[in-house]
A and B are shown apart, each in its own frame.
Chain A
Amino acid sequence: MSCCHPCQLLHIGLMHYLVLAAALFGIGLYGALVRRNAITVLMSIELMLNAANINLVAFSRYLVPDQGPLGQVFVVFTITVAAAEAAVGLAIVLAIYRLNRSVKLDQINLMKW
């Protein structure tokens, strides 16, 4: 197991960033599965998107040296889509709150049979 060598742990490489992104994604996954409030679920989705962005930037720095900051360009697009998602998602949450006075996800069962 070369990964547990202290020298490997102290020299920061691609592996460290990937593990950090995996931890952030896992926490966001837990939050999206567990929370009852729709706004907190949106926050957890933002956490997962940030983890994906860390992966993109790290791969761009470590794996494609001849392409320039290609991954960072992708991150710009991802942040754009995430901002649009947050705006529309929160507008939907406000509309749902106006409809039935609650944003608890287990009480939003209008389309369930």
Chain B
Amino acid sequence: MKNLTEFLPAIWFYLFAVITVGSALCVVGLKNIVHCAIYLAATFLGVAAVYLLLHAEFIAVVQVLIYVGAVTVLILFAIMLSQKYSGMEIVQHNSQSIPAFFLAAAFIIGMAAVVSRTWVHAAKPMADVQGSAQSIGYMLMQPYVIPFEIASLLLLAALIGAIIIAKKDIE
């Protein structure tokens, strides 16, 4: 079956795209906020699979570690700590649903139209880079070492700031 193996990348892409977009729709559409957080984790996993399809293995692993492992758990903790009726179905939308829906739909359709009409469908993928983690590590340590250090400083500031803001009573 030559045809099937030829279309295998397309099948994988559409499968993961449907998972990503479907669970993203669940994130913005469901009424139970805990379910929203679980579907957010599913969206992050779908995005990680898309990174794998793009041959960005290191980014996919980082995505799973940070987004699925840390950010989702952080959001779940915040939900548990801040909801009076956690896990109940309550109306979560404000009165701007219809204009916001048309705005988002216009954005998606406009972007798709622009993207499909330009030169990007003629772009060819570059040759597969072996060991993307190795070259990312080299780039972080050699040409981008100052942004790397500033990122660590930003993380430290965010850590201290989050603790100070969320502390119960500050004298």
Interface residues of A (CB under 8 A from B): 1-3, 8-20, 22-31, 33-37, 39-40, 42-44, 46-47, 50, 53-54, 57-58, 60-65, 68-70, 72-73, 75-77, 79-88, 90-95, 97-98, 101-103, 105-106
- Decide: A43 and B75 in contact? CB cutoff 8 A: yes
A43 contacts across to B, CB distance below 8 A: 27, 36-37, 40, 75
B151 interfacial by beta-carbon distance below 8 Å: yes
Contacts A33-B100, A37-B33 hold; do A23 and B44 have CB atoms under 8 A apart? Answer: no
Residues from 105 to 136 in B contacting A, C-beta threshold 8 Å:
105, 107-108, 111-112, 115-117, 120-121, 123-127, 129, 132, 135-136
Interface residues of B (CB under 8 A from A): 7, 9-10, 13, 17, 20-21, 24-25, 27-28, 33, 36-37, 40, 43-44, 47, 50-51, 53-56, 58-59, 62-63, 66-67, 70-71, 74-75, 77-79, 81-84, 91-94, 96-97, 100-101, 103-105, 107-108, 111-112, 115-117, 120-121, 123-127, 129, 132, 135-136, 139-140, 144, 147, 151, 154-155, 157-159, 161-163, 165-166, 168
- DSSP class of B's interface residues: helix, strand, loop or mixed? helix
